[in-house]
A and B are shown apart, each in its own frame.
Chain A
Amino acid sequence: GQQVMQIPQYQHVQEGEDFTTYCNSSTTLSNIQWYKQRPGGHPVFLIQLVKSGEVKKQKRLTFQFGEAKKNSSLHITATQTTDVGTYFCAGLNSNDYKLSFGAGTTVTVRA
């Protein structure tokens, strides 16, 4: 079945620094979605990428979808304490609309 791998599992970042989390699928995806879960909260949708090679930005967050539609990345610049949480990528299978979540990258920030 479809598997989505995400690395790193943990990311400890100094405030103000940049970091990137990566997502890889074993199969070609219809689209990829990114969610953020704050500590004690629930996953909240951030963005969806559909087209091969697509790049989208949300303020300090940059999302990319690979040319083969099998991988994606999230890059955060100038990390702030508000960026703390777990970031999940989730790949959508076009056949059954089943969303496969990666294990998530849990981000902590040192002030």
Chain B
Amino acid sequence: DAGVIQSPRHEVTEMGQEVTLRCKPISGHNSLFWYRQTMMRGLELLIYFNNNVPIDDSGMPEDRFSAKMPNASFSTLKIQPSEPRDSAVYFCASNYDDQPQHFGDGTRLSIL
């Protein structure tokens, strides 16, 4: 059974560029989460969706960040314009109701 699939695995780009991270949750899961992990701030919840609807985006740092979930099998996290301080590992996770979350392998993002 496929787990949570994220792409790309690595992304290196120059500041000011648009970055799009992608996530395919586990089939049958009804919630999807986007996290950011850095040494300084640890694992931060950015936004989560339930049944494709954004429920809590209070963790989204600023207007440069946006997330969408057009259907149950796909979500994107977009940063525009990107800045060096956005460099981090971005994880997507999914689950069903209150069951444990399954994490993807993450996207390692470096903004130069």
Residues of A within 8 A of B (CB): 30-31, 33, 41-45, 48, 88, 92, 94, 96-101, 103-104
Instruction: Scan B47-81; emit 1 where CB is below 8 A from any A CB, else 0.
Output: 01010000110000000000000000000000000
Contact check, B55 vs A96: say whether CB atoms are below 8 A apart: yes
Contact check, A97 vs B50: say whether CB atoms are below 8 A apart: yes
Residues of B within 8 A of A (CB): 31, 33, 42-43, 45, 48, 50, 55-56, 91, 93, 97-98, 100-106
Contact check, A98 vs B48: say whether CB atoms are below 8 A apart: yes
**With contact pairs A97-B50, A98-B48 given, residues A45 and B55 touching in the complex (Cβ less than 8 Å):** no
Contact check, B101 vs A45: say whether CB atoms are below 8 A apart: yes
Contact check, B98 vs A101: say whether CB atoms are below 8 A apart: no
Contact check, A92 vs B43: say whether CB atoms are below 8 A apart: no
Chain B nearest Cβ from A35, distance in angstroms: 8
Q: How would you classify the secondary structure of chain B's contact residues: helix, strand, loop or mixed? A: strand
From B42, B100, B106, A42 is in contact (CB under 8 Å) with: B106
Report Cα–Cα, A72/B17, bound state, in Å: 43
Contact check, A42 vs B43: say whether CB atoms are below 8 A apart: no
Report Cα–Cα, A31/B102, bound state, in Å: 17
From A30, A42, A48, A97, B104 is in contact (CB under 8 Å) with: A42
Contact check, B42 vs A104: say whether CB atoms are below 8 A apart: yes
Chain A nearest Cβ from B90, distance in angstroms: 11
Can you name 13 A-B pairs with beta carbons within 8 Å? Answer: A33-B100, A42-B91, A42-B105, A43-B93, A43-B101, A45-B101, A45-B102, A88-B43, A96-B55, A97-B31, A98-B56, A99-B45, A104-B42
